Amino acid sequence: MSDNFNNILDQVKGFKKNLTFFSPSNNKEFEISPLTLRQQKSIIENGFSSSLSIVFFNVTFYNIIKENFPGDIKELNTLDRVNISLVLREKISNEYKDEDENIYNISDVLEKNIKEISVAPKEIVTENFTFKLKSPNLEIDNRINNILLKKYKNKNLDKNINLLISDLYVYEMLKFIEEINFGETTINIQDNLENSFKLISEINTYELKDILKYINQVRDLELNLSKIPKTDTNINITADFFIVQ
C-alpha cells in the first residue's frame, strides 16, 4: 500500500511543468518549477511574524527557490528574487489588486522587467578603511537572515524592537560588504559573520555613509522591478501577495 502511494505521489510530482523567468543580473532566462500548495502554505504560515515578517518571508522564499530552481542558486541575487516572485504568483493568478481595489496584470510588470540590470562591485576608500562592496547573492542574503531569526527566536520582539532595528541596520551592511582593508590587515567579512558584526559596529559612522548609498541604490532597483508600468504603484511582495482568492 505504501509503495503504491509513493508511486502515485511520484506521478503527481511529475506533472510539474517548468516556468521561465528573466534574470536581470544575468541578462538571460532560467527555468523554475511552479509553487506547490505545500510551498504556498509555508509562505503564508511563515510570513506574518510582526517586525520580522519580511525576514521570515525571504528565508521561506529562499528555501522554495532552492527546491524549485535546477541551477546554482549562487548565480541569483536579490534583484532576481523579484522576478521569480512575480512569475510564481502570475502562474497562480495574473491579476493583482492594490489597496484601492485597482486591478493590474502581473504579466505587464514581467514584460517591463526583461532588461539587464548590472550592479557593479564598488570600492570605497575612507579615512581609515577600504571597503569592497558587492550586491549580495541569495545565499549570503539567506545566511544573514537566518542569523537574525536565530538571534530573536526566543525574544519578545515588542520589548526588543529598538535592538532589532539596530541589528537589521548592521546586518544589512554585512550583506553588501565583501572585504575590509586597513593597514596590513584584510578582513573577509563572510568568513565569520559574528566577528564581522562586532567589527562593523565599532567603525565610525561617517565612514559608512557611502556604503549606505550603495545599498540604497540596489534596494531602489529592486523596488523599481516591482513597479507597475505607467503607474506610481508598486506590488508589495510579501506573504499576502501569494494569498489568492
pTM score, whole prediction: 0.91
pLDDT band with cut points at 50, 70 and 90 for residue 15: low
SS3 of the chain: CHHHHHHHHHHHHCCCCCEEEEECCCCEEEEECCCCHHHHHHHHHHCCCHHHHHHHHHHHHHHHHHHHCCCCHHHCEHHHHHHHHHHHHHHHCCEEECCCCCEEEHHHHHHHCCCCCCCCCEEEECCCCEEEECCCEHHHHHHHHHHHHHHCCCCCCCCCHHHHHHHHHHHHHHHHEEEEEECCEEEEHHHCHHHHHHHHHCCCHHHCHHHHHHHHHHHHHHHHHCECCCCCCECCCCHHHHCCC
Q: What digits encode the pLDDT tens for the residues 32-77?
A: 999 999 999 999 887 665 678 889 999 999 999 999 999 999 999 9
Q: What is the pLDDT of residue 16?
A: 72
Q: What digits encode the pLDDT tens for the residues 183-205?
A: 999 999 999 999 999 999 999 99
Q: What is the pLDDT of residue 47?
A: 67
Q: What is the pLDDT of residue 50?
A: 64
